[in-house]
Amino acid sequence: MSSNKNQSGKPAGDSPPPKAVISRLSLYLRELQHLVRDGRLTTSSSGLGQRLGFSDAQVRKDLAYFGQFGHPGIGYRCEELIPVIRGILGTDRGWPVAMIGAGNLGRALLGYKGFARQGFRITAVFDIDPTTVGRTIEGVPVHHFDDLERVIAAEQIKIAMIVVPAAAAQGVADRLVAAGIEGILNFAPVTIALPEHVSTVGVDLAIELEQLTFSVVKKRGG
């Protein structure tokens, strides 16, 4: 009826990939990077799926949403597929990221090496605590929250991480939107309301643990 195939690596117009596909894409990318580090040149849809618990058909279908990247009889060349997926996800470029909140968790995230590996650089931190503002953490300057708009405009930052207490999160989000931010990674355990044109991903650590206890209890109960 309708087809999604094309050669360009850009999504075809006629049916957007399901959100679930995008989250698997990130996992494929991570596996491929491990494979390259281990010296592997190619992999197959079944090889890639196996470790992640997906079927070979699903892996092929997911990738086929965006084009033809495999080689019949051979599989997928890791070094070839990696930049393709990065292009789809938008991590083929460097993204400067702002972080709001320099508490415990914020500082830990500043020290986290995994971001840089995927092209993210936290270039500005904002807080209101006078003992931190003006200093530098992990080489990143801590600005006063009052300077949010100025710094975000000057550094052309489009992505921000909210790492403030739940009660402050919505207010911070509103300021970020007004400052021109297009995507927010929210670590505060609240749902924040945002205009349509701004994307958000929420990470609630307690919720992740809840999901885990559910599985544990379910397995016990039979």
Partner DNA sequence: TAGATTGTTAATCGATTAACAATC
Q: Which helix (H) or strand (E) element contains residue 175?
A: helix 166-178
Q: Is 5 in the site for DNA (CB under 7 A)?
A: yes
Do residues 102 and 143 lie in contact, with contact meaning Cβ atoms separated by under 8 Å?
no
Shortest distance (Å) from residue 98 CB to DNA: 31
Torsion sign over Cα 187, 190, 191, 192: negative
Residue whose CB is less far from DNA, 75 or 189: 75
Task: Give the SS3 label for residue 85.
Answer: helix
Shortest distance (Å) from residue 25 CB to a copy of itself: 8
Residue 58 binds which entry of a copy of itself, DNA, none, CB below 5-8 Å type-dependent: DNA
Q: DSSP assignment, residue 204?
A: -
Contact residues toward a copy of itself (CB under 8 A) are 22-23, 26-27, 29-31, 34, 51-52, 88-91, 95, 97, 104-105, 107-109, 111-112, 114-115, 117-118, 120, 158-159, 182-185, 189-191, 193, 197, 199-201, 203-217, 219-220
Q: Is 75 in the site for DNA (CB under 7 A)?
A: yes
Q: Is 44 in the site for DNA (CB under 7 A)?
A: yes
**Phi, psi (5° rounding) for residue 53?**
80, 25
d(CA 166, CA 12) in angstroms, rounded, equals 39
